[in-house]
Chain A
Amino acid sequence: MNCFDEQDLVAYADGELDAQARAAVERHLAACAACSAYVADMRGLTSKARASFARLPAAERPVARPAMGLVRPAWPRVVVATLAAAAAVLLAALLAARLMSEPKDRRVVQIGPTTTTNTVASTTQSSVSPTPAASNDELFAQWAAAARRRQSPVRLVPMDEVASFRPPVDRPVTANDLNPRG
Chain B
Amino acid sequence: MSRLQRDREFEASLDAVHPALVRAARVLCWADADVEDVVQETLLAAFRGRASFKGDASPFTWCYTILTRVASRANRRHARGRSMASTHVDDDGADLAESLDAPLPPVDSRLLDDETSRAVVDAVRRLPQRQREVITLHFLQDCSYAEIAAALGISVGTVKATVFAAKQSLREKLSPAAAPESR
Contacts and interface: CB of A to CB of B under 8 A. Distances in A.
B98 interface: no
Given A38-B183, A63-B18, A66-B44, A56 B112 contact: yes
Nearest to A34: B183
B164 A6 contact: yes
A75 interface: no
Interface string B14-31: 010011101100110000
Interface string A60-84: 1001111011110000000000000
Contacts of A153: none
A7 B171 contact: no
Contacts of B118: 52
Interface residues of B, number: 52
Most B CB within 10 A of own CB, among A16, A45, A49, A57 = A49
A14 B164 CA distance: 10
A59 B19 contact: yes
Interface string B103-126: 000000011101011101100100
A45 B167 contact: yes
B124 A49 contact: yes
B167 A46 contact: yes
Contact of B39 (A48, A53, A63): A63
A175 B175 CA distance: 125
A169 interface: no
A179 interface: no
B23 A58 contact: yes
A53 B27 contact: yes
A2 B183 contact: yes
Interface stretch (B56-64, B75-83, B84-92, B138-146): B138-146
Contacts of A11: 145, 160, 163-164
Interface string B124-163: 1000000000011011101011000000000000001101
B11 interface: yes
Contacts of B168: 6, 10
A70 B100 CA distance: 37
A46 B26 CA distance: 19
A104 interface: no
Contacts of B27: 53, 56
A69 B47 CA distance: 9
A11 B15 CA distance: 32
Interface of B: 4, 7-8, 11, 15, 18-20, 22-23, 26-27, 32, 35-36, 39-40, 43-44, 47, 110-112, 114, 116-118, 120-121, 124, 135-136, 138-140, 142, 144-145, 160-161, 163-164, 167-168, 170-171, 174-175, 178, 180-181, 183
Interface of A: 1-2, 6-7, 10-11, 14, 16, 34-35, 38, 41-42, 45-46, 48-60, 63-66, 68-71
Q: Which 6 A-B pairs have the closest CB atoms?
A: A58-B19, A52-B117, A52-B120, A56-B23, A49-B139, A7-B164
